[in-house]
Amino acid sequence: MPTMLAEFLPSIESIDREHWQALWASDYPFVQYDFLLALEQSGSVSKASGWIPHHLLIWSGEVPEEKGELILAMPLYIKSHSYGEYVFDWAWADAYHRYGRDYYPKLLNAIPFTPATGPRFALKEGLDAELFSEILIGQLKEESQRLGASSFHSLFPKAKQLELLENNRDILQRDAVQFHWMNDNYIDFDDFLSTFKSRKRKSLKSERRKVTQQGVEMRRVEGVDITDEQWHQFYHCYHLTYLKRSGRQGYLNREFFQRLAESCRESVMMVQAFYDGQMVAGALYFKDSQTLFGRYWGCLDQFDALHFEACYYQGIEYAIENQLKKFDPGAQGEHKIQRGFIPSFVHSLHWIAADEFRPAIADFLNQEKEHIQMYQKDAETYLPFKEVDNK
């Protein structure tokens, strides 16, 4: 067993940017130091918002004074609620409450407000991944117990890490379905549409025409070219839309987007919609070398089909033009299926500390899994492609 030291940090600022970045052999945008820092420095992630940073680092060495090399890092949060997670465990919290037990705090390995599959921890290359996954789980269990947390959870881990962590017999896996677009080496958007059945293809083309017929002009701007004024206009759209929909400001504030503009430009792309010379809507995307991620949207007025154009079709066009393999437009939304987004499984992992609750939650997840698998198969029958029969 290697000698090592584990520590939990109250902020991403407690570690040097270079140390954190050097360990992540991934350009997945949401684990980058600057993105996590923007969440914290803006106050979007904080004790007040119910997301207390508690990031885990494992170093070679045994005592703080003799810290060696950083060998593992995991973004981690102490949660006092379940908002902004997109894996719904409110029923579990209710069950705890009915039996006079506290479900919160809980320990959460996730990217705040971001239901996008990706790496959830980084391990130094060359180390035994199976061994260190056991060490990692041991550290999370110990810390959960020290904090009095009911559980720990890892949301939307990539497949390889899912497999490593779920091998532990105490870890429960939960499945869900999202709708993802896959690039089958399409030449352009028309090439993609050529795979549709005729009626579905005509419907989608008609939907896109509605946007231009209303006098709306669409533009795509790479992050490095987005002006301060355009960032300001986008936030105005986002904030107003959230306010109309929920009566709340939204999870992310103006300062968060300002910090994105300063430090995360390379990983973003903005779709802008103009009417009568004014920006009336915007969609903000993130990207890495393989995947486009649709994240935030806002609109100042009602325009027929504009949401579909800005959040789906512009993203598909961009992914084709830039030879990206996948487009993840965000959680939920069965209306994506008829537009060519494939029902795809996503996963989460859960450790429940209390022996009296773990079997009941495991039974629930097993039953839920059967329904999720049936739902995914049924959803596939509604895809618009020629080779898939529709109902």
Question: What's 184-324's CATH class?
Answer: alpha beta
Q: Is pTM beyond 0.85 here? A: yes
> 339-383 pLDDT, tens per residue?
999 999 999 999 999 999 999 999 999 999 999 999 999 999 999
Residue 2 has a pLDDT of 64
* Torsion (CA) 121, 125, 131, 132 in degrees, nearest 10: -30
The pair of three-digit structure tokens given for residue 242, joined into one six-digit string: 């959230």
**R_g (Cα) of the chain, nearest Å:** 22
Give ∠ CA 372-376-378 in degrees, rounded to 5. Answer: 115
- Residue 61: pLDDT band with limits 50, 70, 90: confident
- Residue 388: pLDDT band with limits 50, 70, 90: very low
Averaged pLDDT, 173-198: 98
Start-to-end CA span in the chain (Å)? 57
The pair of three-digit structure tokens given for residue 4, joined into one six-digit string: 């090592």
Q: Is the pLDDT confidence value at 301 over 50?
A: yes
Q: Is the pLDDT confidence value at 320 over 70?
A: yes
Residue 62 has a pLDDT of 63
Residue 63 has a pLDDT of 58
Task: Give the three-class secondary structure for 372.
Answer: helix
Residue 66 has a pLDDT of 65
Residue 68 has a pLDDT of 83
Residues of the chain with CATH 3.40.630.30: 4-177+344-379, 184-324
The pair of three-digit structure tokens given for residue 120, joined into one six-digit string: 């959830």
Question: What's 4-177+344-379's CATH class?
Answer: alpha beta
> 135-169 pLDDT, tens per residue?
999 999 999 999 999 999 999 999 999 999 988 88
Tell me which of 8-17, 28-37, 64-73, 379-388 is least confident.
64-73
Averaged pLDDT, 276-283: 97
